[in-house]
Structure 1
Amino acid sequence: MKWTVPNILTALRLLAAPMVPVMFLYFTRPYADWFALMLFVLASVTDWFDGYLARAWKQQTKLGTMLDPIADKAMVIIALLVICGYSTWTPWLVLPATIILFREVFVSGLREFLGDTAGTLKVTWLAKWKTTVQMVAIAVLFSQGVFEHYLVMSSWGMDQAMAEAMLSGDMEDSQGLRWKYAGMVWAGNLGVVLLWFAALLTLVTGWDYLRKSTPYLREDT
């Protein structure tokens, strides 16, 4: 195995994946949300850099080719589990997450079954865009948690009538509740829309991989 700089970046991204839920074990919110968001964004950025450096420096290796999709899947799957676990389990969030998880498991099993012929399922540009949209959606959903908990902290000790008066503009918003609430709503809605778009791309790329593997799944006659 050859440990080039791109491969090291990919390995660090793979190690960062399980660190996302660890943030919620050792830190209180919203600090856990902040740390998980920063860790996820930083790891996602390396996804672009390791591929760019591998091509620019002509350091594309078998190790990097193997680790890169694993690191991407680990980041997405673990982050989605954390987001769903700390959400209200709304179907609008859980259903696209389920589609994404099912596709990743299905394609991984398909590649394992095909063995030496798995090279027919090379990562396409559409699949790369799928991963990018997934990561952007997850980052936005993590930011929703930041807005939500700053909103709760700012309204601590207020009764419902006072908080509603500040949000409606009937009372001076000395705690910045309106912009925090707006950030929470916009981040939540945008994150769900992006996650559904990612789920759609997930289905399209999954079907493409199944179509390409069909000749190898036919029974011998």
Structure 2
Amino acid sequence: MPNIANILTLSRIAAIPLIAALLFLEQPIFRWSALTLFAIACITDFFDGYIARRMDQVSALGRFLDPIADKLVVGAILMAMVATQQIDGWSVLPALIIMCREIMVSGLREYLAELKVGVPVTMLAKWKTTAQMVALGFLIVGTAGPDWLPVTAIGDGLLWLAAVLTVITGYDYLRLGLKHMGNDMARPR
């Protein structure tokens, strides 16, 4: 159980409360500290899978925890940023879309796992995750960013882009899930 890949995944989960707490402190040093921790968490998302495959440390725990860690990081940061009004107004809508999709896909994966159906991560879903992470990075910095760069506007724009990709990939997963649900319902009991 304790291998490097799983430790990286667990460290990502452990960082969530600290990142969220830093978002409630308005001084620029705390915003940049939150961004640094968030960036490290995002980097561990890449390396935990890479290390697991490269060092032959793929485990059931890792396959279980990795997608949960991703959703926890995104969900917790979105919630904290809405609570602190770093995401406000119309920008709450893409945050809500992202949260709803993440919950739906998690439930769908759980259902399909019972049917022994794997749901591979698509390249578009990877782009969606990248857009989310970059958007959140800009939004974490927010007003603490340089005056010459519209940091919040860039973050908001990327959040909307992530929401669009979220809807597309969510639809793809839902369509796949509904197909298997129809097959499952047609089976004799």
SS where residue 120 of structure 1 aligns? coil
Greater Cα radius of gyration, structure 1 or 2: 1
Matches of 2:132 and 2:73, distance apart in 1: 10
Quote the Cα distance in structure 1 between the aligned partners of 2:72 and 2:139: 17
Structure 1 counterpart of 2:79: 81
Instruction: Give the match for residue 14 of structure 1.
Output: 13
For 1:130 and 1:117, the matched residues in 2 are separated by 26
Identity %: 42
Q: Is 2:23–2:81's contact at 8 Å kept on the other side of the alignment?
A: no
CA displacement at 1:19 relative to structure 2: 2.0
Runs of 4+ displaced beyond 6 Å: none
The SS at the match of 2:57 is coil
Deviation for aligned residue 1:9: 0.3
Determine if the alignment matches structure 1 residue 198 to structure 2 residue 169: no
- Cα distance in 2, alignment partners of residues 39 and 130 from structure 1: 21
Structure 1: runs of 5 or more not aligned: 148-179
1:6 CA drift (Å) = 0.9
For the residue of structure 1 that corresponds to 2:121, the secondary structure is: coil
Contact 1:112-1:118 at 8 Å conserved across structures: no
In 1, are the aligned partners of 2:112 and 2:118 still within 8 Å (CA)?
A: no
Contact 1:111 1:118 in 2 (8 A): no
Q: Distance in 2 between matches of 1:195 and 1:95?
A: 10
Structure 2: unaligned runs, 5 residues or longer:
none
1:119-130 equivalence runs, <5 A = 119-130=117-128
TM-score (norm 2): 0.88
Deviation at 1:120, TM superposition (A): 2.9
Change (3 A) 1:197 1:118: farther
**1:66 aligns to what?**
64
Number of residue pairs the alignment of both structures matches:
184
Identify the match of residue 30 of structure 1 among 28, 31, 39.
28
Alignment correspondent of 1:165: none
Distance apart, 1:100 and its partner CA: 0.2
Q: Aligned partners of 2:178 and 2:5: how far apart in 1?
A: 33
TM-score for the superposition, normalised by structure 1: 0.76
Aligned to 1:57: 55
Match of 2:101 in 1: 103
Aligned ranges for residues 83-162 of structure 1 at < 5 Å?
83-87=81-85, 89-91=88-90, 93-117=91-115, 119-147=117-145
- Listed one character per residue, the Cα deviations across residues 80-120 of structure 1 (whole Å, up to 9, x for unaligned) are 112222226221x1111111011011111222333422633
**Contact persistence 2:3–2:57 (CA under 8 A):** yes
